Structure 1
Amino acid sequence: MIRSDLDIVIARTMARDVAKTLGFGAIDQARIATAVSELARNIFLYAGTGNVSVREIEKGTRKGIEIVCEDQGPGIPNIDLVMQDGYSTSRGMGMGLPGAKRLMDEFLIRSQENVGTTITCRKWRN
């Protein structure tokens, strides 16, 4: 459950630990942890609370990690807009969602205004 800055750190550490256990190298562990940190921070900033789950996935002979970030916040009215580099509603650098997408292999956003947002991202082990 994401409710504070400390929860963001916990989610980041959990994702890195799972990635390490699954055999990801140090660089991919850092990429995964950074993406989770960005996504968890968005939950905290825009929805107040939400959940981050991390699990192992398999597709044929490929193994990887899946991160699902869910909230019941205000939703994202224009996903295309928030996925543009430099766009920010919090006066940040605007690298959060586009940056997280670049760090992962797969990235899917589902959002509905006044219902919430779910972001599912995956990284496959080489």
Structure 2
Amino acid sequence: MTPASELAATTSLPIGSDADLAWVRHQVRRIAAELGFGLVQQTKLVTAASELARNTLVHGGGGQVRITPSTDGPTPGVRLAFADTGPGIRDVELAMTDGYTTGGGLGLGLSGAKRLMDEFTIDTAPGRGTVVTVTAWAAGMPGAPARSR
């Protein structure tokens, strides 16, 4: 088990290759497990992280993710902030529409990640890059925040 002081530290990981995507998934799962997330919660978190990391790589040209565990409140949680310096998102509302894609995929990356997480924000502008921040709280634990939809 990881010491609490080490678990509370923010980890920054680069996203510049497919190998980095696998490492991001591995680290997110490891941290979620150490925070007490159940298997289903871990899977949701890793799925969202995988989608957002791939978007960072493919659409943003690469970037980084900052993984910040929260261990000081009544409920453990983890915040993931995916940042790139790519072209930004011109129309966030359109990008959040199920089925909308610019990359030939299913168009469920952003909207799917939002549904899987407790908190979701996008900070973007054309020519300025994008930061997508998501937070998940360990469900079923005393003091767990209600899921916002």
Q: TM-score, normalised by structure 1?
A: 0.96
Gaps of 5+ in 1: none
Matched, 1:91 2:104: yes
- Structure 2 Cα separation of the partners of residues 3 and 60 of structure 1: 33
Matches within 5 A, 1:36-51: 36-51=49-64
Give the aligned partner of residue 7 of structure 1: 20
SS in 1 for 2:64: strand
- Structure 2 Cα separation of the partners of residues 44 and 116 of structure 1: 12
Matched, 1:120 2:137: no
SS in 1 for 2:121: strand
Q: Comparing 55-64 with 2-11, which one deviates more in the overlay? A: 55-64
Shift of 1:56: 1.1
- Structure 1 Cα separation of the partners of residues 131 and 71 of structure 2: 21
- Structure 2 Cα separation of the partners of residues 19 and 35 of structure 1: 13
Matches within 5 A, 1:1-80: 1-57=14-70, 60-80=73-93
Overall identity of the aligned pairs, in %:
43
- Structure 1 Cα separation of the partners of residues 104 and 58 of structure 2: 12
- Structure 1 Cα separation of the partners of residues 69 and 104 of structure 2: 35
1:28-80 CA distance string (max 9 Å, x none): 01111110000000011112110011111257423211001000000001100
Which structure carries more helix by proportion? Answer: 1
Higher Rg? 2
- Structure 2 Cα separation of the partners of residues 39 and 59 of structure 1: 26
SS in 2 for 1:75: coil
Gaps of 5+ in 2: 1-13, 140-149
Shift of 1:91: 1.2
Segments ≥4 residues shifted beyond 4 Å: none
Which amino acid letter does the alignment assign opposite residue 67 of structure 1? L
Count of residue pairs the alignment pairs up = 126
SS in 2 for 1:117: strand
Compute the RMSD of aligned alpha carbons: 1.1
